[in-house]
Chains A and B, each alone.
Chain A
């Protein structure tokens, strides 16, 4: 089993759609979780951290299910500018050992 596994994608959605990405992780002792965004030919940048109680930042909602070792990212009212690859990141061993998933590519179309 991969340490961090994501939906393979790609996702192609119209503007205004709601889209959800899923991610599972292998180490039940993992302590912290993140979603990063990577634009084509650019470096990854933090989109949001994922907190145990779930958290929202504008159109973006992140949720964590520790029992199922599962993280999700929901994007509402998709914009063209949301087109990017979304990377799930897990602090695997609690020492900031940050492991990335393979990423899920999203394309939002007019």
Chain B
């Protein structure tokens, strides 16, 4: 079974530039998450999709971050414009849809973003 695919693996940009990250979840997984992990901290949930609908985006800085999952499969996370404090690893995860279930999250390898 193929895992969660993310690209790029690394990205270096200057502040105020734009950047986009891509994620393809495990086939059949309806739920997709984007997490931001700053060095030394735990992953912070940015946005959760179920199919192509947003379940939770309460911690997404909407003035600069946007995410979409138009066809309910792959997803793109964008930052525009980037700030120095956006330097982090951006992790995509997916899980299957069952509610109230102890569902395992499958993570991609992440995109390490450095904003200079």
Contact = CB atoms under 8 A, between A and B. Distances in A.
A107 interface: no
Interface in A60-106: 87, 89, 91, 93-103
Contacts of A91: 102
A34 B35 contact: no
A87 B42 contact: yes
A99 B101 CA distance: 15
Most chain A CB inside 10 Å of its own CB: which residue of B42, B50, B110: B42
A26 to B, nearest CB: 14
Interface of B: 31, 33, 35, 41-45, 48, 50, 55-56, 91, 93, 95, 99-105, 107-110
Contacts of B105: 36, 44, 46, 89, 98
A32 interface: yes
A70 B39 CA distance: 26
Nearest to A36: B105
Contacts of A95: 50, 55-56, 99
